[in-house]
Amino acid sequence: MGITSAIFGCSGLSLTQDERDFFHEAQPWGFILFGRNVDTPEQVTALVAELKSCVSHEDVPILIDQEGGRVRRLRPPHWEAYPAGEVFGENYHQDKKRALRFAWLQSRLMACDLQKLGINVDCLPVLDVPVRGSHDVIGDRAYGSEPVIVSDIGLAASEGLLSGGVLPVIKHIPGHGRAGVDSHKDLPVVTATISELERSDFEPFRRLNKMPLAMTAHVVYTAIDTDNPATTSVRVIKDIIRDYIGFDGLLMCDDLSMHALKGSFEERTTASFDAGCDVVLHCNGDLNEMRPIAAASPKLSGDSLRRAGQATDLFASVKACDEDDLRNEFRTLCDGETYGQDPTEAGH
């Protein structure tokens, strides 16, 4: 039957019969959960099992955005309220070693949370480097405004997830930090020079280029391609992401339903694959949008299949830990602060 090069969302807390039938026919590589899909641990576990039962391949990637702060799908009272990325950057300036341990602990505990539910991919870390005047769609999700700090904390966060058998997704490659508008709503155009981009925006991705998964930015970089955002730009994906940054992991596009992209869903899908994406991502659970995306998506093959296999092989990399001890240490580092009081459905 073959595996379709797509990741799809679903509409609610359990699958409808139409969704079951569609997923069985489409055989997507993976699925993604949002807040609309989350109630209790028992419900999420059942939904994940239901999603996996719809496809015939093993090691099905189940994605979620669990960054901490305002972008989190798992919330109190059932799950910990984790801090946003900027907290680790603030700690880094005071005590680098403490900050990196703090970031690692958070991700390792997130991996514990996710593993219990059957979720095995977290769309973290955010490696974007914001600049003054940029839109706050990244904002406090970023670890800082210095590439070295972003890289160091991003690596610690990634390693925390990997030690728990959860795959990190570095995003938004090759950098969303300069965007002046929210790509959920409009197309950002970045006019920085190549040297500026290489010195800042691209650097964290170069330093973490061995990570298994990455998500594109729906951003135009006029110094590279004046017409197309990274997601649909052959120049950005080949010359920058693959060659300059050196990323050879599996590359997924950001959500195809975001308003930064134009054209029909079939056209968006075809353009993403033609540019060099390995897998497309669609998040909102609308079957009317998913059907043309599935029809336009190829089966996983060649380098894309190799990259997918190398990624899912890492699911087995769980290292034993004493969760209670780690959670107590984490809460000590939180120093009594309460985080994550403004969750949002946005976040890619």
pLDDT in tens, 66-112: 999 999 999 999 999 999 999 999 999 999 999 999 999 999 999 99
Which residues are part of the catalytic machinery?
184, 254
pLDDT value at 348 more than 90:
no
Q: Which residue, among 215, 221, 139, 234, has the nearest Cα to 187 in the 3D structure? A: 221
Give the model's pLDDT for residue 111: 97
CA-to-CA distance for 311 and 293, rounded, in angstroms?
23
Q: Compute the mean pLDDT over every residue in the chain, rounded to the nearest whole number.
A: 94
Structural domains of the chain ordered from first start: 4-75+84-334 (3.20.20.300)
Give the 3-state secondary structure of residue 73.
Answer: coil
Average of per-residue pLDDT across 321-338: 89
CA-to-CA distance for 177 and 198, rounded, in angstroms?
13
pTM of the prediction? 0.95
Helix segments in the chain, DSSP class H:
17-26, 41-53, 86-94, 96-117, 147-163, 194-199, 203-207, 234, 265-275, 287-296, 302-312, 323-334
pLDDT in tens, 205-250: 999 999 999 999 999 999 999 999 999 999 999 999 999 999 999 9
pLDDT in tens, 265-289: 999 999 999 999 999 999 999 999 9
Biggest CA-to-CA distance, the chain: 54
Give the model's pLDDT for residue 181: 72
Average of per-residue pLDDT across 35-57: 98
